[in-house]
Structure 1
């Protein structure tokens, strides 16, 4: 996919009251990344609630767009509410939901290949269930074990006791119990013709002020084994942008993407031809990334709550 870059350096608007007001007035809809923008792990950034209240008070629509596949939309709403952020399930668009919509409504799978082999957590399972998509793997404890000599033989022989013949999709998200068996099964399902999907390709996950392995690190071994990229359904995939636009029916030129990661959030907004992109320095990308990288935001701030200075 071609990287899109905004010509010229992005504007730094922290402390620029007039510039902030002018920027906010251009948009009706704000798409928010969550981790690294509103919070890090379970730490809510100061001023987040007030900033969202300010936008809503001024008639702006707020949509939470997250690549975190470990939570369903209902789980995410609970997290938002627990942090004091009012929200509805309908305002939340997660990569697990995006993936489920893609599998159920866009992929045309043969009758006998409708099952999904999941590498991931309960968020994926809940969203697949909401779309009535059958699945195996995921949080099933039967997959949390070491590989035995017998497993190698059974997998090589295509034994149906270990390789389900109805699997037509392998969906890879962030999995906190990743192991050799899961990778081996995913590889063999894909080699046998299953569609290779990833909820998202974020290499890292911000938490507690540092970085941990992200969902992209789960699909990386398979990419290396297969020499093949998955269809990714989180940011910056435009399949996700199309789905969001279809659901919320907004004018892209009056929408702004807010994120902390240049290569996913900002790129998502640029390639989606949104009217604006806003970078914040509370997550993964540095000032250097925003100013000199391939995916430059239109503007950037030290932190999201700097928007409060527009009042």
Structure 2
């Protein structure tokens, strides 16, 4: 689209999670040095980012987790049998999963109960697509939150400042000259406000409505109908 950028300049939530697991977790949780595997509840994009950071993982798109639960599964999981629960798993990472099922939820729960850290790429409740809303990544992790008595995962999507710190740590950009553009007040705009960026710009091409931006609890500094409106303003000048 004519925007000069490189792959390294794109910070998705899955990338931030992979960086956190590979570079930060070993310092914060030295006890996990021997448990370096990640159990993934999500799609191929998460696996790609983990691979790029050299993080071993299981679950994800593996077909053996895309099936119904059997009586034998209950017995083996309850017993913590190493033939089904990998003893090297130290992290459960949850994201948007189009093949989410009861079996994956059982695995994730038992890994966490056995000491694995509970992480999520993001906790967006909905996903906008085809002009409507569908379950987001946060809806995938919600059952685990309920099962764990309200324990929330460490999330890396907006508004998590862990992502902001990762960006600043790599590029040393000037926050006062940066503007956050987004279509969701409680994630995008909050991310920019809590990160003390120079500005926040709401766009009406996604989740939030004009009323939410003007009257909601989290309000952007400015809003436009669509991002391309900025180009029209520049051309007029």
| TM bracket (short chain) | over 0.9
2-structure distance, mates of 1:153, 1:193: 20
2-structure distance, mates of 1:138, 1:99: 15
Match of 1:306 in 2: 229
1-structure distance, mates of 2:217, 2:116: 33
Shift of 1:144: 0.3
Cα distance per residue 1:240-270 (max 9 Å; x no partner) = 0010111221110110000000000000000
Q: When the two structures are aligned, how many residues end up with a matched partner?
A: 229
Alignment of structure 1 residues 250-269 onto 2, 5 Å:
250-269=173-192
Runs of 4+ aligned residues of structure 1 deviating over 3 Å after TM superposition are none
SS in 2 for 1:159: coil
1-structure distance, mates of 2:115, 2:211: 42
Matching of residue 172 in structure 1 with residue 76 in structure 2:
no
2-structure distance, mates of 1:114, 1:270: 34
Q: 1:136 aligns with which of 38, 47, 58?
A: 58
Q: 2:115 aligns with which of 175, 186, 193?
A: 193
Shift of 1:88: 2.2
2-structure distance, mates of 1:174, 1:309: 35
Shift of 1:310: 2.0
Shift of 1:111: 2.9
SS in 2 for 1:113: coil
Match of 2:210 in 1: 287
Matching of residue 89 in structure 1 with residue 11 in structure 2:
no
Shift of 1:239: 0.2
2-structure distance, mates of 1:294, 1:189: 37
Q: Which has the higher contact order (CA 8 A, sep 6+)?
A: 1
Give 5+ residue unaligned stretches, structure 2. none
Q: 1:215 aligns with which of 137, 151, 170?
A: 137
2-structure distance, mates of 1:211, 1:92: 25
Closer/same/farther in 2, CA of residues 86 and 206 from structure 1, 3 Å limit:
farther
Alignment of structure 1 residues 55-134 onto 2, 5 Å:
87-108=5-26, 109=30, 110-134=32-56
Cα RMSD after superposing both structures: 1.2
2-structure distance, mates of 1:288, 1:220: 28
Q: 1:228 aligns with which of 151, 163, 188?
A: 151
1-structure distance, mates of 2:38, 2:232: 48
Shift of 1:87: 4.0
Cα distance per residue 1:282-310 (max 9 Å; x no partner) = 10001111111121000001111111232
TM-score using structure 1 length: 0.72
1-structure distance, mates of 2:232, 2:173: 27
Cα distance per residue 1:215-260 (max 9 Å; x no partner) = 1111000011102000001111000001011122111011000000
Alignment of structure 1 residues 16-55 onto 2, 5 Å:
49=1
2-structure distance, mates of 1:286, 1:174: 24
